[in-house]
Amino acid sequence: MPLSEHEQRMLDQIESALYAEDPKFASTVRGGRIRAASTRRRFQAVALFVIGLILLIAGVALPIKPGGFPIISLVGFVFMFGSGVLLLLRKPATSQSDRSGGADTASPGETRRPGSAPRRGPRRGFSSRMEDRFKRRFDQE
């Protein structure tokens, strides 16, 4: 079911307020979906999985079992699990703003996100702005 125009406007306002309040968090949330792994990472994960599978089978087949427990199989399972984790996890961000400590330092020549207005007045938190909107809405009725 599509959103009404009012709901879409409210959603856009909330999104722009989130970008204004904490741009690093907003960009993290926006790109938070699991991305497809690169070809190199896929090959690494497959190689690690194959090594783990070989160790798993070797641990069961070989008569070397200290204390009756197939330690080699356990190591193989850990390798296989690690390959799945390697395939699913994203690489850490390496942008300049992330390395410098996370502060969003936009230079005057950079363009703003479409629909966002420049800041005017004192910096107010997202929650205080939402409280003000809530109070105004109920004061009007």
How far apart are alpha carbons 119 and 132 in whole angstroms?
17
**Tokens read off for 66:** 């200290």
In this prediction, what percent of the chain has a pLDDT beyond 70? 68
**Tokens read off for 41:** 């990472």
pLDDT for 25 equals 77
pLDDT for 106 equals 45
Which of 120-140 are b and which e, b meaning 16 or more Cβ less than 10 Å from the residue's Cβ? eeeeeeeeeeeeeeeeeeeee
Residue type, 67: G
**Tokens read off for 123:** 């910096």
The pLDDT tens digits along the chain (141 residues) read 677 888 888 888 888 888 888 878 777 766 655 556 678 888 989 999 999 999 999 888 888 777 778 888 899 999 999 998 888 886 654 544 444 444 444 444 445 555 555 555 566 778 888 888 888 887 876
pLDDT for 52 equals 93
pLDDT for 124 equals 72
> 73 with 61: CB under 8 angstroms?
no
pLDDT for 98 equals 45
Instruction: Provide the CA 132 distance to its chain's centre, in angstroms.
Output: 31
pLDDT for 79 equals 94
**Tokens read off for 51:** 């090594």
Residue type, 5: E
Q: Both ends of the chain: CA-CA distance in Å?
A: 28
